[in-house]
Amino acid sequence: MEVGFLGLGIMGKAMSMNLLMNGFKVTVWNRTLSKCNELVAHGASIGKTPAEVINKCKITIAMLSDPAAALSVVLDKDGVLEQICGDKGYIDMSTVDPETSCRINEAITSKGGRFLEAPVSGSKQPAETGQLVILAAGDKALYEAAIPAFDILGKKSFFLGQVGNGAKMKLVVNMIMGSMMNAFSEGLTLADRSGLNPRDLLDVLDLGAIANPMFKGKGPTMLQNNYSPAFPLKHQQKDMRLALALGDENSVPMPVAAASNEAFKKARSMGLGDMDFSAVFETLKVLKHSS
C-alpha cells in the first residue's frame, strides 16, 4: 500500500517511520525538506510540495501543528487542493477545532475528493510504538480503506460519524489531560512543601484508584526537571484554548480547564512552549521563589 504523509514533526516523523518499517511505500513532505532525509534513508520518497504528494498517492495523511498549518497545506499555492480529485482521499490527523476540520472537508469534497479527520490520542512514545488511539470521522469508505495503515499506527480506531466529531473528541480528551497535569503538578508541589517525599506520592498514586500511565510516566521525569518534548506545551495550550471555545459554543462552564489554560499560558510566557507539556510544573517553582 502506498500513502503520502505531510508533516514530519515529533508525531509525523514517528508515524511515517512506522508505516515504512511495516512495508508501506511512503512519499513524504515537510515544509523544511531536510527533515525528510532520515525517512528517505529508510526508503521513503520525497514530494517537493503537498500537491505533488497528492498527485502521486491515492491516500495522503497529514499531521500538522495547528489549524493555521492544516489550512495552509490544503489551500495555499501547491497545496492539496491543486491535485485532489475523485479517486483520492485526504486524512488529516492534526488536532484542530471542528470548524477548521469542516472547512477542510468542504474544500476537499468540492473538488470531488474524499476526506477523513482522524486526530489521535497519544504522544511521541505511542506514535513510535504504534499504540495511538485514532478518532476518525467523515468518509466511511475512506476510513475502511485506511484501516491497514491505522492498524499499524494505533492500537484502536474509532469511527465517530460526521466530520467535526473526531476534532471534538480529541479536544475533550486533551482538555481532561491538561487539567489532570495541572492537578498533578500542584499535588507534587504540595507534597514537597509540606515535608513529604514526592517520590512516595508517586508510589501511593500508582497503587490507588487514580493510577494512570501519565502520572507513572511523567512523574519521575518531572522530579528530575526533564521536559524532553513528547507533546510540546505550546500544543497543549492550543488544545486547551480550542476546548474552551468548544465549551463556549455549547454553554458548558469549564472553570477547571480555564484555570489550567492560564497555567499553560504562564509557562509559555516563561519560554517553556517547546518543552514537554509537563513543564507546566515549573510555574509552581516560580511561585515558590517569589514567596
The residue ranges of the chain whose pLDDT is under 50 are none
Bridge partners of residue 60, in order along the sequence? 4, 90
Q: 13, 88, 168, 170: which is the annotated catalytic residue? A: 170
Q: How is domain 168-286 classified at the CATH fold level?
A: N-(1-d-carboxylethyl)-l-norvaline Dehydrogenase; domain 2 (1.10.1040)
Pick the CATH number of 2-161 from 3.30.70.141, 3.30.70.260, 3.40.50.720, 3.50.50.60: 3.40.50.720
What is the per-residue pLDDT for 1? 85
What is the per-residue pLDDT for 287? 64
Q: What is the pLDDT of residues 124-176, one digit of tens each?
A: 999 999 999 999 999 999 999 999 999 999 999 999 999 999 999 999 999 99
C-beta atoms surrounding 43 within 10 Å = 12
What is the per-residue pLDDT for 170? 97
Distance, CA of 64 to CA of 141 (rounded, Å): 23
Does residue 13 have an active-site annotation?
Answer: no
Q: What is the pLDDT of residues 11-39, one digit of tens each?
A: 999 999 999 999 999 999 999 999 999 99
Distance, CA of 258 to CA of 74 (rounded, Å): 31
Predicted TM-score (pTM) of this structure: 0.93
What is the per-residue pLDDT for 290? 54
CATH 1.10.1040.10 location in the chain: 168-286
